[in-house]
Every structure is written in structure tokens, then in C-alpha cells.
Chains A and B, each alone.
Chain A
Amino acid sequence: MVLEGDVSAISAPGQFINIQLDGLYLRRPISVCDLTEDTVTIIYKLVGKGTEMMSEMKPGKALDVLTGLGNGYDLTLIPEDATVLLIGGGVGVPPMYLLAKKLLASGRKVTVVLGFNSECDVFFEEEFKALGVDIRVATADGTYGTKGFVTDVLPESYDYFCTCGPTPMLKAVYVATESDGQMSFEERMCSGFGACMGCTCKTITGYKRICKDGPVMRKGEILW
């Protein structure tokens, strides 16, 4: 879905927006996939009432959206000449796209690894290919790409990694990677700007709210 409006608050890949939907009480947090001067692209998976409503929306509908939420990936932490490995799993794939574009624009090399459950879940492979990056795909049931998880198709050589996906995948990536990196977490949220403490996790540097202090955290601060 492409939303048009004031996107000036979005400053980094990995940030998210929080969408109000008619008749549903809490907003729906969705990560930013792509960005232009006046549009933001989001990709969502049909999982419940909210995403169902979004799938039925007609072009031209106005939405109440909070933008620029959370801390995204910090590119200043990534060495300038690094080859960066981007690992996206399922609904964690979209933020990797804007991140890949930003990294390429900064002159860094990018390798992408995507993981899905099955062939029917695979998306955005072509869009990544169009960026000219090396890409590997794994599916859990082996119906597309390599059978297995993202950790089964990691390249041998890279200097830094960034990842987003379900927590079990993040844990596996944490163990399988030797380089430094940044990881983006998912959690049930409400405000999306740190008011309710609903999404707190423990880190080496103290308690952090995934919505406000995250969703992206440095590998070195994570406590499982």
C-alpha cells in the first residue's frame, strides 16, 4: 500500500508508522518499506481484522497515521566500506528494502537473505534483484529456494549485518553471525511512542521500549 502525505518525520529505514482504522481501537504498527518525498510504501500480511480492512480499502481513502515512530537502523554505526548482510524473515522483509537502497546509495555493498515459510509467501525478490544485489532465498518447507531457514543460506563473508523478523529467527541469526549488527524486534504495541510500557524488553543497557527505544537494537545490547 502506498500512502501519500507528510512523511518528513521518517528519518531512517527500520522506523514504522501506526495506522488508525475505523472501528478498531488500537492503531496498527507497520514498518516502512520504501519512501519518496511525499509517499511511504508499506507491505502487510493478512493476519487479522486490521489487515483485512486495509486490503479492502479503495485508492483515495484518507487515513489517520502517526509517522516516523521508533529508532531505525543507524547507518553511522556501519563501516563505510563494509559488505552488509541484510536478513529479512516474512513480514520482516519490507524494512530491508529501504535499508538496502540507503546502503547502496552510500556506496556500501549489500547481500540479501530472505526467509519465508513456503513458496506462496515469497515476495519482493524481484524488487531486490532490481537493485542489483546478491540475493538468496530460503523456505522452511523447501518449496522455493533453499530448504531451510535464513541461517542455512548465510554467505561466508560479510562485515556487518542488519535483520528484521520473528523473534526465533532473530535468535538464530544472533547465534549464527559473528560480525556486529543491528536487529529489529516485533511486539504487540499500542501507542507506538513509548507511553504505555506495553512492549518493554530487557537489554544489557537497561529496560527498553521496543516501540520508542527500538524497534532496532544493536546486537551487543540484546539479552535473550
Chain B
Amino acid sequence: MVNRTKVSLCGIEMDNPVIPASGTFGFGYEFAEIYDINCLGTFSFKGTTKEPRFGNPTPRIAECSSGMLNAVGLQNPGVDAVIAEELPKLAKCFHKPVMANVSGFGVEEYVYTCEKLDKEPQVGWLEVNISCPNVHGGGMSFGTDPAAAAEVVRAVKAVTTKPVIIKLTPNVTDIVAIAKACEEAGADAISLINTLLGMRIDLRKKAPLIANTTGGFSGPAVFPVAVRCVYQVASAVSIPVIGIGGVSSAEDVIEMMMAGATAVEVGAANLVNPFACRDIINDLPAAMDKYGIDNLADIIGAAHK
């Protein structure tokens, strides 16, 4: 039987384009307890840094209309523990190449962490997050300047062999300029968008709801912003684009792909419905039939005239 949902991302075949986004899926095994996560295209694991991080103080979460704010702040056990403990656990429940998500606070940290994860046979792609809005002195500061973004890309590419995906922030004046700078510096793909910087206030306490004051806004409310960014970037670069932002249904996946996405990440939806990605994958064939789509790969960028 022909697999109508398969796509190829930087030369690696995926059964479908659906990828749980980093920070919403841990290292996979919480979800593996409730369904077989091998139905996924792949997943992007929890953002990993050189050193272990506790992250930000709580509250880290606030609800919004059609979405949520988070300011987790890259809590993770550090790359050495990820390799020693998390990846072996993951190997027992996930048998496809996984996307390693990497964050850092300086070029040399990105290089250190990427170089180590690049050597892990389970890792298919490196997704380099230069767009975390919830940490200071790193993260997003690399993703808001084309020259700084390019510097990270060049440095990481120099020490790695696997496809390098650069994850971009929408909190910029011109996301296309950053994407083009990454492409020119050698990035193999672009993923976007990370969360939008947001804030909520507790009316009773007259104080920010989130301890970090601001957080990243995600959920269905950001979907149109994400589709726009994917469309603009896909028009300007020739490397693959991964669409992220508010995706919650098979229709959303199709819309992202028509905007130019080769694959699609699903974030906040996993936190509301643990079966979100499995359900989206199951719903894809019927949604494709509804819109007369024989093969998903055929519609990548279909909305571009």
C-alpha cells in the first residue's frame, strides 16, 4: 500500500509530517505510557543545554483565550544526562530517528551540545533553538539578528554531520531576513515559529500571572501568525521549512503545508489532549480525501502562486 502521508525532511523519510514540538513532549516516554509514539513522523525532544537547568520560578503557566503562556525557561538535565539517561530510555519506546532540540547561551555552548548530540545514532536531525523568549542572555537574542543567527549556524555546521534545522522566533521585525541569513550560513532547514512574547496580569494581586513576568504565547490563537510566517519564509528560501504554531487538527497540518511547510510541529495541543498527535495522524487521510489530496507531499507550498 502506498503511504499517502509520507514526506522527506532533509533526506530522511518520515511516515507523516507530524512532529510533537519541543517542550510539549518531554523525552517521549510520558506519552509512550498512553499510546504507541511510533505512529509519529518523529518528535523534537525537550530543549537541551550544555549544563543542567532548573528553569524559571513558578508559576510558569497562564491560560489565555485559545492558548497559553509558558515561561518554563528550558528546564532540562543537561546534555550529558540526556545522552546517558534519557536517550537509552527513549530507545525502548521510540524506534525512529528523533529530532534533538538544542538551546544555548553562547555560540560555544550551541557547538558543544550539538557536537555531542550529533554523534548519537538515535538523533536524525538537530533543531537549534535560537528563539526561546524565556531565558536571559541567550536563546532569542541569537534569533533576532541576522548576523548573530548566521554565526550560530556556521559554528554548529562546522562540527556536525546531521541536518541542522534552525528554529526561529516571530518576535522580530523581519523574519525573512533572519531565515535567509541562516540559509546562506548553511542551515539545512528552518522551523518556525517559536512562541510570541506575551504577558497576563492577575487582577486580584495586581501583578503578573507568571513569575518571569513575560512568557511565550502558544496555542490555536497564534496559528494565523504562524501560517503567515511560514508562507513568507517559504517564498524566500529554498531549504525546507517546518511549520509550528497553534496546529491542532489534520486541517491545520494541511494548511501549514500549503503555506510551504514540509513538516509540521504540534505544540500546545499535546498539553491539552495527550492524544492530539495520534488523533491528527489518524484524521489525515480523511481530511486529504475531503480536499482531493492524493499525497501530502504534493501540496507543500501549494498556496504559492
**Beta-carbon contacts of B260-284 to A below 8 Å, as 1s and 0s?**
0000000010111110000000000
Contacts of A26 in B (CB 8 A): 61, 63, 68, 271-272
User: Does A193 lie at the interface of the complex (its beta carbon under 8 Å from any beta carbon of B)?
Assistant: yes
A34 at the interface (CB under 8 A from B): no
Asked whether A198 and B26 contact (CB < 8 A) given A191-B271, A191-B274, A207-B54, the answer is no
How distant is the Cα of A147 from the Cα of B118 in the complex, in angstroms?
A: 63
Whether B274 lies near A66 (C-beta < 8 A) is yes
The residue on A at minimum CB distance from B26 is A195
B62 at the interface (CB under 8 A from A): yes
A26 to B30, CA, bound (A): 19
Q: Which of A58-76 contact B (CB under 8 A)?
A: 66
Q: A194–B58 contact, CB under 8 A? A: no
Residues of B within 8 A of A195 (CB): 24-26, 30-31, 270-271, 274
Stretch at the interface among A83-91, A182-190, A214-222: A182-190
Looking across the interface, which residue of chain B has its beta carbon closest to that of A189?
A: B61
A118 at interface, CB cutoff 8 A: no
Q: A191 to B269, alpha carbons, bound, how many Å?
A: 9
The verdict on A25 contacting B59 (CB below 8 Å), with A195-B26, A196-B23 known, is: no
Partner of A200, one of B34, B54, B270, B272: B54
Please name the residue on chain A nearest to B53 by beta carbon: A207
- Give every chain A residue within 8 A of B59 (Cβ-Cβ): 187-188, 198
In the assembled complex, B301 has its CB within 8 A of some CB on chain A: no
Contact between chains at A188 and B272 (CB < 8 Å): no
Give 13 pairs: A residue, B residue, CB < 8 Å, sorted on A.
Answer: A20-B272, A20-B273, A25-B65, A26-B61, A188-B60, A190-B271, A191-B274, A195-B30, A198-B59, A198-B60, A200-B54, A200-B55, A201-B58
In-complex Cβ contact of A188 among B24, B54, B58, B270 (8 A): B58
Q: Is A197 an interface residue (CB 8 A)?
A: yes
A187 to chain B, nearest CB (A): 6
| B64 proximal to A (CB < 8 A) | yes
Closest residue of A by beta carbon distance from B73 = A197
User: Which B residues touch A66, using CB under 8 A?
Assistant: 274
* Chain B residue contacts of A194, Cβ below 8 A: 26, 30
Answer whether residue B139 sits at the interface, using C-beta atoms and an 8 A cutoff. no
Which residues from chain A contact B272 at a C-beta distance below 8 Å?
A: 20, 25-27, 190-191
